[in-house]
Amino acid sequence: MPLFWILLFFLFLPNKSFAQKLILFTPDEKKPSVNSQVKGVDNPYGKVKAEKIFTVAYGQPAFANFLDFAPPERAFLLTQNGSVRLTPLRKEIFDPWFNKPRIAYSLALKPDLPGDYILCIETKNMIEPGDVVRKHFAKTVFHVEKEKGWDRLCGFDLEIKPYTRPYGLVSNVVFWGRVLYQGEPISEGTITVERLRVKPLEKLPKLRTGEINFPVLQKTTLLREDGSFFVSFEEEGWWVVSFTLRRGVITYGNQEYPFELSTHLWVYVFPQEEDKAKQEEHRGKKKRLSSQM
């Protein structure tokens, strides 16, 4: 990674608005790879009796910045027949900012029945930049052939309940959800929305001056009085909808720190058909140009 981009990382990424998040996605690989670099992502659809691999990572998704983290405190799957505890397996994921592998985890899911499966992850308390201790919750829906049970809750202390089905989404769709704390709606706070990038400079939005348009990388919206919110997703790929709640102070390593809960709902967004056609046309032009050189 050139020195310029590392300097950019230190100048902008410590911004509190781009806090670390628990990251959930499906890598685009037919079989497990020894290469820790993620080449792309896949959608969260599966088939009965067919294995699907999910990656659990930690970092700043909008910048493809991955960090080491300890094994999750809890990982479980809401199946069609109840809840099943999962054992995350340690793996490596490539951090392009510092050109080194980071500790992440993989989960292999093999559904027995058609329906919607809810993947639920909870971390241990972690001290993060800004001298704050934070516990993260994350979930996503694994869709297997049949629409059934996508609105079930993991039972986290802080959780996002979807009212729009959280799969089969296309770009620019409006998504409706509600934030719950211990089962009750929260009346105020800010939702953030970010898209996962697996390469550090992948499609970063820029101003005419050439500067990175940072507000586009993270959208925010305020909760309504009933805890509900509406957001949209402009591009194809994995997106995270997040909410953070301050919960007093906690002792960590013989010191007191502010304590926060952060909950994350991960969804996959498909391109609109016209967007897909434009992408195919652009790729075709690039191939023709390269063949003429």
d(CA 22, CA 266): 10
pLDDT over 80 at 283, yes or no: no
Greater pLDDT, 291 or 150: 150
- Give the pLDDT score at 231: 97
Concatenated DSSP letters of 184-206: EE--S-EEEEEE--SSTTTT--B
Query: Any bridge partners for residue 140, and if so which?
Result: 266
Give residue-wise pLDDT tens across range 51-81.
Answer: 999 999 999 999 889 999 999 999 999 999 9
Helix (H, G, I), strand (E, B) or coil at 286: helix
pLDDT over 50 at 109, yes or no: yes
Strands 174-181 and 228-232, by their bridges, are antiparallel
Domain extent, residue 233, equals 3-292
Confidence band (pLDDT; 50, 70, 90) for 23? very high
40 secondary structure, DSSP code: -
- Give the pLDDT score at 1: 45
pLDDT over 60 at 285, yes or no: no
pLDDT over 90 at 97, yes or no: no
Query: Any bridge partners for residue 119, and if so which?
Result: 77, 140
HEC profile of 120-139: EEECCCEEECCCEEEEEEEE
- Give the pLDDT score at 5: 45
Greater pLDDT, 197 or 118: 118
Greater pLDDT, 288 or 80: 80
pLDDT over 70 at 34, yes or no: no
Q: For the chain, what percent of residues have pLDDT higher than 70?
A: 82
Say if residue 3 is exposed, middle or buried (CB neighbours under 10 Å; 0-12, 13-18, 19+): exposed
d(CA 293, CA 224): 56
Greater pLDDT, 86 or 99: 86
Q: Which of 44-58, 198-212, 251-265 is the least confident region?
A: 198-212
Phi and psi (nearest 5°) for 191?
A: -90, 140
Report the candidate in 229, 226, 225, 258 with the shortest Cα–Cα distance to residue 243: 229
User: What's the structural domain count of the chain?
Assistant: 1
- Give the pLDDT score at 169: 96
- Give the pLDDT score at 202: 66
Q: Model's pTM, two decimal places?
A: 0.87
Concatenated DSSP letters of 94-110: EETTTTEEEEEEEEEE-
